[in-house]
């Protein structure tokens, strides 16, 4: 049998293509949307990371999830700086979750509370993606809306405590391969990972409806 990291990657490949090629992402990366759409997207990320990272504290001593919970990954503080830059000092008062974002964040909060292995599926889907494709989004955002390179507005995409992302991803995959779960439970994690991708696609769909360009 393939390693767990290979299994999870292969199993979510189709959903990755779907998320990547959603109209909203395509328009965002194509430079066809205004900075308001980017800010709205960043707001949605705030809810997801709030759920991921407030759940992390509770999992710090869990045998399955704790190896993955690494402070150098935490994104909430960076998101808050970006939102202050994008929306101004009052960013919190206008912050709202789209219904699809609420569903996504609720699912993360639920697994963080009840199912640590399921939390790992969500952790993988977000943070490994941010370390990979996230860098493409940062580059586009800097060029399209003129943010300072790795500065305010795109700090979410900057992992300044991870010097070598490729090495970090290799270590992360080794952690996945060492996870103490039986095959049936691993299969459930793969299913949850697909669900995590689908939840992201749902948020993109909702954002696409709010900022309809490719329609």
Question: Residue positions in the annotated binding site?
Answer: 9, 16, 124, 173
Is residue 133 near ligand HEM by the rule CB under 6 A? yes
Q: Which 177-206 positions form the footprint of ligand HEM (CB under 6 A)?
A: 197, 200
- Find the distance separating the first CA and the last CA of the chain, reported in whole Å: 43
Quickly tell me which residue has 């999830």 as its tokens: 65
State which of residues 17, 77, 95, 136 lies at the interface with ligand HEM (CB under 6 A): 136
Contact flags string 9-38 toward ligand HEM, x per CB under 6 A? x------x--xx----x---x---------
Q: Which is nearer to ligand HEM, 52 or 86 (CB)?
A: 52
Which sign, positive or negative, has the C-alpha torsion 24, 26, 29, 34? negative
Taking every pair of C-alpha atoms in the chain, what is the biggest distance, in angstroms? 52
Q: CB of residue 60 vs ligand HEM: minimum separation in angstroms?
A: 22
Please list, in sequence order, all residues whose beta carbon lies within 8 angstroms of the beta carbon of residue 102, skipping any fewer than 6 positions away.
Answer: 47
Least Å distance between CB 150 and ligand HEM?
18
What is the footprint of ligand HEM within residues 92-131 (CB under 6 A)?
124-126, 128-129
What is the C-alpha separation between 89 and 103, in angstroms, rounded? 27
Q: Are 59 and 65 in contact (CB under 8 A)?
A: yes
Q: What is the CA radius of gyration of the chain?
A: 17
Residues near ligand HEM, by CB under 6 A: 9, 16, 19-20, 25, 29, 124-126, 128-129, 132-133, 136, 197, 200
């Amino acid at each position: 049998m393939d390693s767990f990291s290979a299994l999870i990657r292969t199993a979510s490949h189709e959903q990755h293509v779907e998320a990547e090629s959603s109209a909203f992402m395509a328009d965002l990366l194509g430079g066809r949307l205004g900075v308001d759409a980017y800010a709205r997207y960043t707001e949605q990320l705030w809810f997801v990371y709030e759920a991921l990272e407030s759940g992390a504290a509770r999992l710090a001593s869990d045998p399955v999830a704790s190896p993955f919970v690494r402070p150098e990954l935490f994104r909430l503080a960076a998101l808050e700086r970006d939102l202050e830059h994008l929306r101004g000092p009052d960013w919190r008062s206008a912050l709202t979750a789209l219904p699809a974002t609420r569903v996504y964040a609720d699912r993360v909060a639920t697994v963080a509370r009840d199912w640590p292995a399921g939390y790992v599926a969500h952790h993988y889907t977000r943070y490994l993606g941010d370390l990979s494709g996230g860098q493409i989004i940062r580059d586009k955002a800097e060029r399209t809306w003129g943010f300072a390179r790795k500065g305010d507005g795109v700090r979410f995409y900057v992992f300044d405590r991870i010097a070598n992302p490729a090495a970090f991803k290799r270590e992360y995959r080794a952690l996945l391969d060492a996870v103490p779960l039986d095959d049936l439970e691993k299969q459930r994690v793969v299913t949850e990972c697909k669900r995590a991708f689908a939840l992201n696609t749902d948020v993109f769909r909702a954002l696409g409806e709010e900022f309809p360009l490719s329609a």
